[in-house]
Amino acid sequence: MLPELHSILNLLEGGFGQIKVLVVGDIMLDRYILGEVERISPEAPVPVIRHAQRYERPGGAANVAMNLAGLGCKAFLAGFWGEDGEKAELQALLDKAGVDSVGVVSSSLPTISKTRIVGRNQQLLRLDIESQEAVPEVEAQRLIDRTVELAGKVHAVILSDYAKGALTTALCEQVIRAARAARVPILADPKTPDFGKYSGVTTVCPNLHELSVATGIPVHRTEEMLAAAQRLIAEHDIEFLTVTMSEKGIRVLSRDGVYHSPARAREVFDVSGAGDTVIATLAASMAGGLHIHTAVELANLAAGIVVGKVGTVPIAQHELIAALTPSSGLNSGEKVLDLERIKVRVAEWRASGETIVFTNGCFDLLHVGHITLLEDCRRFGSKLVLGLNTDMSVSRLKGPSRPIVGENERARVMSALAAVDAVVLFDEETPLELIRSLKPNVLVKGGDYTVETVVGHEDVIASGGRVEIVPTVEGFSTTNIVKKMVGAEKA
């Protein structure tokens, strides 16, 4: 159990919503193109990928801001983007998440983007678009002016350095000065070997490789390297160093000594973006008044959650709450849940290493086709959530004579099935918002769909999940059963 648990839960359940954090740094768009490789090109010895899916995510400093928004903070982003299509895509993603891009300066240089082409879960190629030119001086000064102004209006500042040119020494000096004058914590994620660039910050958050470069000591001589890192604290007027050590956890180095937080990941799928999650959670926790040791424990817990996902996926507030309160006050045997309770239940399962499967439907008159679908769903994961259309939703889809069985009775019948772990009702015609809230690992539909026609497929894939299409049982449907019943009555 984490120390100050009551204070942490108060922050997560409402306090973070009052916290404003500014992220300054290199903004990027991460784009993924997924497909299948079935042959080699006759034009050259390269694989041919048949395009199936494409999705985008905010990257770099923008991903740090997304983590803050996921925690419930008011995130402000500052940096550069170009006047191009990538900017439009990136801004749409940030707006949707509630990230305020008031500090972002439009540049004559292109928006930095990284496009990864992936076939059968194997990255085949990465295309980076970025200029090697320095940012024009007038644009650089405009960014300094905006960030200095914002630094005095927030509760914490993060310098997210990806060595792409946004964080110049001049900008860092002025922003750090402004943050210190406002007496707010300032955190730096470094990409330069000279920590002098970040002199005066509250903490620098290097990983082992970055710390090795800064100290000149190889990673395998870890203890010697950490001892050398202590000297950087006094040399650069840093309160403490927060060193992320992968599977070894996080170590805090200060003038007063060392604090170590062991890693909390149950199973590691992808470490992409874990550093962004750590610094975002640290900043929010410190701004919320938590002791640094408690803040590090919470950041470590958040990192353990995100490395259990595939791809760069930000942390979500309810995932931390579920990890901190595994009992949640819910009856573990209760299956029919409302939206808020299913979100907590799914977060608990995910924190325990379960694979979440989602399917949906009206399930008006239960038949063998339904049972086969649900049994197929269980092949793809360990927990199955069933989204069930309410009566109002069914009527809009099927007509005023439907449903035949009411929503409460349908929910109870479905929850009695061994294959189903939870049932949640939704009023909309599609379960899109439900899928976005739950972020299942696997989304399943019957064989009369294709991946592209499944509602929510883009969101699930963008969150690191996948879509599965299973065969339907021919001749079985509620509509056919109703027709037979009507025909029998007429006869």
- What's the confidence (pLDDT) of residue 269? 46
What is the pLDDT at residue 246? 83
Q: Are residues 250 and 265 in contact, defined by beta-carbon separation less than 8 angstroms?
A: no
For residues 225 and 449, what is the distance between their CA atoms, to the nearest angstrom?
A: 56
pLDDT at 204: 97
**Of 279, 247, 251, 281, the residue nearest 264 (C-alpha):** 247
Q: What was the pLDDT predicted at 477?
A: 59
Rounded distance, CA 468 to CA 445, Å? 7
Q: Which of 304, 285, 303 is nearest to 294 (CA)?
A: 285
Amino acid 333: pLDDT: 59
Which pLDDT score is estimated for 55?
Answer: 83
Q: Output the pLDDT for position 329.
A: 47
Indicate left, alpha or beta for 444 from its phi (over 0: left) and psi (-120 to 50: alpha).
beta
pLDDT of 256 reads: 86
Taking 70 as the pLDDT cut, the residues of the chain under it are 1-4, 6, 52, 264-272, 308-312, 326-333, 473-491
366-405 tens-digit pLDDT: 888 889 899 999 899 999 999 999 999 999 988 888 898 9
Side chain identity, residue 269: F
CA torsion sign, 260 to 265 to 271 to 275? negative
Tokens of 124: 């085949």
Q: Which domains does the chain have, with CATH numbers?
A: 5-314 (3.40.1190.20), 339-490 (3.40.50.620)
Phi and psi (nearest 5°) for 30? Answer: -95, 120
CA terminus-to-terminus distance, the chain: 68
> With 0-12 CB in 10 A as exposed, 13-18 as middle and 19+ as buried, what is 314?
buried
Gap between the Cα atoms of 350 and 267, Å rounded:
11
pLDDT of residue 475: 55
Q: What is the pLDDT of residues 428-465, one digit of tens each?
A: 989 999 999 999 999 999 877 888 899 999 989 888 89
Q: Which residues pair with 100 in a beta bridge?
A: 76
Instruction: Identify whether the C-beta of residue 268 lies closer than 8 Å to the C-beta of residue 229.
Output: no
- Pair of tokens at residue 47: 């694989």
In this prediction, residue 348 carries a pLDDT of 79
Instruction: Give the C-alpha separation, 491 to 485, whole Å.
Output: 10
Catalytic residues: 276
CA dihedral over 345, 424, 277, 266, signed as positive or negative: positive
Backbone angles phi, psi at 111, to 5 degrees: -65, 130
Give the C-alpha separation, 487 to 481, whole Å: 10
